[in-house]
Amino acid sequence: MPEATVLLVDDEPEMVLLWERILRGLPEVRFERAYSGEEAWEKVQRLLPEVVVADLKMPGLDGLELLARIRERDETISVLIVTGYGTIERAVEAIKKGAYDFITKPFEKERLRHMVERALERSLLLRENRRLKALKDDFWWEELGIIGRSPLMRELLSLVERVAPTNATVLIRGESGTGKELIARAIHHLSPRRSWRMVTVNCAAIPENILESELFGYVKGAFTGADRDKTGLFQEADGSTIFLDEIGDMPPSLQVKLLRVLQDGEVRPLGSTQSRRVNVRVIASTNQDLEKKMAEGRFREDLYYRLNEVTLWVPPLRERGDDVLLLAEHFLEEYAREYGRPGLRFSPEALEFLKAQPWRGNVRELKNAVKRAVLLARENTITPGDLKLSLRPGAPEARPFYLRPYHEAKREVMDEFARQYLEGLLRHTGGNVSQAARLAGLERPSFQRLLRRYGISAEKFRPAT
């Protein structure tokens, strides 16, 4: 049996002590105590106990309300309600509301032990079932919207399966558009933390000075304008997973602070003297060359080693063989439905064309290409011509640009420049078009024209919620 946690809750400390003494002999069980409903709820979120033993009558958040919250968050937590003499009806109500069982005071030691043991068994079983169910079918990831059957993807996803149930910090690496965020979601989804929402932070999209208070929060008066306490994202992710997207772009000053949080498991809001313990699983991702950044002193080595307890490499699309076609069909179906074009198909030439592309923008580029083709296709079949329209020009060209006709070379270099410029800017502003236009010194409409010309959607740079 893996180690399990039992949370004991009563506003009378002596009772908590008494229960713990009775239960102490249970093997592989860790006990936690809380002396109010509020404290218990806070600990439930942070520690994900298997079993909660709670007194029914407590000032403030009482046993029944606590039960209701727990049931809503995670049905695998077993709640045992303890009632005093004369409150049996409410105990029955608790059962109806999903308590695992109740026990009336005064009770026999053996009975309490036995009940907690059974409750533990139930929780562990439910959690194991939940995990197995998620793994059950051959392509479980397709249920999460991840398409792929190539050997490299299977290998990656089998690593995901193995690392998900642990608490290991995971670093997800791979080229832009390969699906790193989807992989992060899959890890969270297969972990015991899945019933809590994963908190995603795009480290590149949030300006440096704001990122710190976003991550760690602040207390009232920490700086001008801080007119109330603000909870940081780390605290919000307590009991759950935080996904630090584009970690390679995190400014060095914050890297130090992040490292401290990872090492101590504590966050201290800006302007506060007190740290708070948090139980957060960290997943980070980047498409940057971290080794190079370290060599240049722009990424901290200690943070790098702390983050990469496990590194998962997401392969580029061009190494995934026929996955390209699976993905293309998948996106075609999706967009044909969305844009009301049922029956739309790829021509055989289009399929060949898709397979031959280098897909430097990976799945995201493929997805965009299919989307545009669905919008633009004149007939009921998509031709290579429909697909070509949105691809990056010049990709397969082997000759250096100065050995090609001047006008052609210039257009390609300019196109590439414009793309990189626009994408970089949007990444910086987190997909905020007005802000990007301002920084570019352009009117918003002309900026948007540029985006349209290069088929760039600002949306994909907005942080996922």
Ligand X SMILES: Nc1ncnc2c1ncn2[C@@H]1O[C@H](COP(=O)(O)OP(=O)(O)OP(=O)(O)O)[C@@H](O)[C@H]1O
Which residue number, 409 or 456, has a Cβ lying nearer to Mg ion? 456
d(CA 405, CA 415): 15
Q: Which does 363 bind (CB under 5 to 8 A by kind): Mg ion, ligand X, none?
A: ligand X
Radius of gyration of the chain, Cα coordinates, nearest whole angstrom: 27
Stretch 363-392 residues interacting with ligand X (CB under 6 A)? 363-364, 367
Residue among 104, 100, 148 at smallest CA distance from 126: 100
Which residue number, 101 or 181, has a Cβ lying nearer to ligand X? 181
Min. distance of Cβ 101 from ligand X in angstroms? 44
For residue 462, CA distances in Å to 58, 184, 206, 411, 431 come to: 44, 17, 10, 29, 5
Should residue 462 be labelled a site residue for ligand X when binding is judged by CB under 6 A?
no
Which residue number, 181 or 229, has a Cβ lying nearer to ligand X? 181
Q: Which helix (H) or strand (E) holds 327?
A: helix 323-338
d(CA 292, CA 290): 5
Which residue number, 181 or 416, has a Cβ lying nearer to Mg ion? 181
Provide the b/e sequence for 142-171 (b: ≥16 CB within 10 Å).
eebebbbbbebbeebbebbbebbbeeebbb
Stretch 178-217 residues interacting with ligand X (CB under 6 A)? 178-182
Min. distance of Cβ 311 from ligand X in angstroms? 14
Residue nearest to ligand X according to CB distances in the complex: 179
Q: Give the x-and-dash track for 280-299 against ligand X (CB under 6 A).
A: -------x------------
Should residue 181 be labelled a site residue for Mg ion when binding is judged by CB under 5 A?
yes
Which residue number, 181 or 309, has a Cβ lying nearer to Mg ion? 181
The token pair at 352 is: 């060949």
Min. distance of Cβ 245 from Mg ion in angstroms? 5
Q: How many residues bind Mg ion (CB under 5 A)?
A: 1
Name the phi and psi angles at 448, rounded to 5.
-70, -30
Q: Which range in 9-17, 179-187, 247-255, 437-445 contacts Mg ion by CB under 5 A? A: 179-187
Adjacent-strand bridge partners of 102? 81
Q: Which does 60 bind (CB under 5 to 8 A by kind): ligand X, Mg ion, none?
A: none
Q: Give the x-and-dash track for 244-283 against ligand X (CB under 6 A).
A: ----------------------------------------
Min. distance of Cβ 144 from ligand X in angstroms? 9
Provide the b/e sequence for 256-287 (b: ≥16 CB within 10 Å).
ebbbebbeeeebbbbebeeebebbbbbbbbbb
Q: Which does 192 bind (CB under 5 to 8 A by kind): Mg ion, ligand X, none?
A: none
d(CA 462, CA 204): 11
Q: Give the x-and-dash track for 133-172 against ligand X (CB under 6 A).
A: ------------xxxx------------------------
Q: Which does 269 bind (CB under 5 to 8 A by kind): Mg ion, ligand X, none?
A: none
Name the phi and psi angles at 106, rounded to 5.
-80, 150
Contact criterion met (CB below 8 Å) for 40 and 54: yes
Q: Which residues sit at the interface with ligand X, rule CB under 6 A?
A: 145-148, 174, 176-182, 287, 327, 363-364, 367
Which residues in this chain contact Mg ion in the complex, by CB under 5 A? Answer: 181
